[in-house]
């Protein structure tokens, strides 16, 4: 398909290289290296797709995205950034960005994002046709099987619903048609409103233009689920008669994006840390040795003797941090062998129980005997799980509990390990920071526990996610591929 693309990046060379590659893929390419030029070209050529760097010299990328969406809501905007920032990813999705790719751009990521944009353009075109020709209804709403589709009247009553959404809601078509959309989707008796649940219909009806928003819901396990909701108004004789609403669960996309961003962030910090830690290790050793040598030469009654002891012990503490940092940066390649997952969990629970007992916290596990095995570096996975359990114990008051549960994931290919605590929880604004090296709110914490854990999980081709409720506790979920023989069902 020959679409016009506008590439916006302040790096002129990148614009050129990307432009050439896109031209080879059959796109008509225009480029701009700042926000002001981007808007001029955008108004001039009305591109179907915009590939846009967030860090521009003259305008905030989010503002540029909003302006483009305001002027031509149908534009598919793919955000490119070198800065790993989850907040930015969520905000850009909330402003209806199509996708989010991180620098350095790899072919797979870019092609995936462009394919998504092409799919969305196709869907919009079909919806346009639908709005003009009602006989296409059946074909259109059931063709969009990946999204949930509702056809809603101007009075908020549901006129039609697709099979995918009926299956998810577990209700019959008869039970839904004619009811208010907010009754069925949100179990409430007034239209959605507020920051977490803005109603896209209201906006679509008043602007007569498509509109997009994101809703955050909590599932049964109190996990945050992000829904991307798009509304397309339908017309008869120029009057808005209702809207077609598409909704899609984008939680997995956001989580995958999050672990990708985390990986690139950790990689760059790791490189820097390795260099600095190495340089610091030698002078620290000199300080330590010198302090101990002087101490040997003086009388223990001398007041300097105690002070030299403090120098030595503080230097040792610094060395401990540097060693942990080198561990984190070096990222030892795991030496993997097949190990039973239940055995691993039983061992780490046993190892951490003593520490928990000091605080009168219990550590329990729940894992099926036949859960199967994983190709793992046992020492590394042990370390990862122990870090998570110890964090759980740290955050939990006397009488609390840390649970380690393992089960086979929904697609039977992965094992899901959950480490849950009844502790104080993590504030929402801190959730994106806790995996950063050196982020710690503990007096003696290095802040490297979760950074190392996340590195280990990634090296085992797994992913780690966290959800938390302040005052109620936190839950870390790890997904790891099961050993092939097991996942094939023998």
Q: Which does 306 bind (CB under 5 to 8 A by kind): Mg ion, ligand ATP, none?
A: none
User: What is the sign of the dihedral through the CA atoms of 113, 119, 121 and 123?
Assistant: negative
From the CB of 448, what's the least distance to Mg ion, in Å? Answer: 8
Bridge-based pairing of strands 337-340 and 401-408 is: unpaired
400 binds ligand ATP (CB under 6 A): no
Nearest to 250 by CA among 212, 279, 276: 212
158 binds ligand ATP (CB under 6 A): no
Q: Alpha-carbon distance 156 to 124, whole Å?
A: 22
From the CB of 449, what's the least distance to Mg ion, in Å? Answer: 3
3-state SS, residue 188? coil
Stretch that binds ligand ATP, among 130-138, 161-169, 343-351, 419-427 (CB under 6 A): 419-427
Q: Taking a C-beta distance cutoff of 8 angstroms, is the pair 451, 328 a contact?
A: yes
The enclosing H or E element of 375 equals strand 373-376
From the CB of 317, what's the least distance to ligand ATP, in Å? Answer: 12
221 or 445: CB nearest ligand ATP: 445
449 binds Mg ion (CB under 5 A): yes
Q: Which does 266 bind (CB under 5 to 8 A by kind): ligand ATP, Mg ion, none?
A: none
373 binds ligand ATP (CB under 6 A): no
Stretch that binds ligand ATP, among 180-188, 281-289, 308-316, 391-399 (CB under 6 A): 391-399
392 binds ligand ATP (CB under 6 A): yes
* Cis? peptide before 104, omega within 30° of 0: yes
From the CB of 418, what's the least distance to ligand ATP, in Å? Answer: 12
Which residue of this chain has its Cβ atom nearest to Mg ion in the complex?
A: 449
Between the CA of residue 74 and those of 68, 130, 286, 302, what are the distances in Å?
9, 16, 64, 79
DSSP state of 136: G
Among 423, 432, 455, 482, binds ligand ATP (CB under 6 A): 423
Among 33, 162, 262, 391, binds ligand ATP (CB under 6 A): 391
3-state SS, residue 95? coil
Q: Taking a C-beta distance cutoff of 8 angstroms, is the pair 98, 78 a contact?
A: yes
75 or 395: CB nearest ligand ATP: 395
The enclosing H or E element of 43 equals helix 35-45
Q: Which residue has the tokens 């809601």?
A: 169
DSSP state of 111: H
Q: Which residues share a beta bridge with 339? A: 374
Q: Alpha-carbon distance 137 to 122, whole Å?
A: 15
Number of chain residues interacting with Mg ion (CB under 5 A): 2
37 or 394: CB nearest ligand ATP: 394
Stretch that binds ligand ATP, among 14-22, 32-40, 263-271, 436-444 (CB under 6 A): 436-444
From the CB of 333, what's the least distance to Mg ion, in Å? Answer: 23
Which residues would be at the binding site for Mg ion (CB under 5 A)?
391, 449
Which residues would be at the binding site for ligand ATP (CB under 6 A)?
387, 391-392, 395, 421, 423-424, 426, 434, 439-442, 445-451, 474
């Amino acid at each position: 398909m020959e679409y016009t693309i506008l590439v916006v990046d302040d790096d002129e060379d990148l614009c050129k290289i990307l432009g050439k590659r896109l031209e080879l893929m059959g796109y008509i390419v225009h480029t701009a290296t700042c926000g002001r030029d981007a808007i001029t070209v955008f108004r001039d050529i009305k591109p179907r797709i915009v590939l846009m760097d967030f860090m521009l010299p003259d305008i905030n990328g989010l503002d540029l995205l909003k302006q483009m969406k305001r002027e031509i809501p149908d534009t598919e905007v793919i955000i490119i950034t070198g800065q790993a920032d989850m907040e930015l990813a969520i905000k850009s999705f909330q402003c209806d960005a199509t996708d989010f790719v991180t620098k350095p751009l790899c072919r797979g990521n870019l092609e995936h994002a462009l394919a998504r944009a092409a799919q969305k353009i196709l869907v919009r075109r079909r919806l346009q046709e639908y709005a003009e020709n009602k006989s296409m209804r059946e074909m259109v709403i059931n063709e969009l099987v990946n999204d949930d589709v509702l056809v809603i009247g101007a009075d908020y009553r549901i006129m039609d619903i697709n099979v995918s959404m009926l299956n998810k809601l577990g209700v019959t078509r008869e039970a839904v048609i004619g009811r208010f959309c907010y009754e069925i989707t949100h179990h409430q008796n007034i239209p959605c409103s507020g920051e977490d649940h803005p109603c896209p219909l209201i906006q679509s009806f008043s602007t007569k233009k498509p509109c997009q928003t994101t809703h955050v819901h909590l599932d049964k396990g109190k996990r945050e689920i992000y829904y991307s909701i798009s509304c397309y108004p339908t017309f008869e004789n120029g009057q808005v008669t209702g809207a077609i609403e598409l909704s899609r669960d984008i939680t997995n996309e956001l989580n995958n994006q999050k672990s990708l961003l985390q990986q690139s962030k950790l990689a760059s910090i790791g490189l820097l840390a390795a260099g600095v830690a190495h340089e610091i290790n030698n002078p620290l050793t000199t300080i330590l040795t010198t302090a101990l040598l002087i101490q040997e030469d003086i009388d223990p009654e001398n007041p300097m003797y105690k002070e030299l002891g403090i120098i030595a012990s503080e230097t040792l503490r610094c060395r401990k941090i540097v060693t942990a940092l080198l561990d984190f940066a070096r990222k030892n390649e795991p030496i993997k062998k097949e190990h039973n997952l239940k055995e691993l969990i039983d061992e780490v629970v046993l190892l951490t129980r003593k520490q928990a007992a000091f605080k009168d916290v219990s550590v329990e596990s729940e894992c099926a005997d036949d859960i199967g095995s994983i190709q793992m570096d046992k020492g590394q996975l042990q370390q990862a799980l122990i870090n998570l359990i110890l964090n759980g114990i740290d955050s939990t008051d006397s009488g609390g509990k840390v649970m380690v549960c393992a089960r086979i994931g929904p697609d039977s290919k992965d094992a899901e390990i959950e480490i849950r605590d009844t502790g104080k929880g993590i504030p929402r604004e801190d959730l994106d920071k806790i995996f950063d090296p050196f982020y710690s709110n503990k007096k003696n914490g290095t802040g490297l526990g979760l950074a190392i854990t996340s590195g280990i999980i990634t090296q085992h081709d797994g992913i780690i996610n966290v959800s938390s409720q302040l005052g109620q506790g936190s839950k870390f979920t790890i997904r790891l591929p099961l050993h092939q023989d097991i996942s094939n069902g023998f």
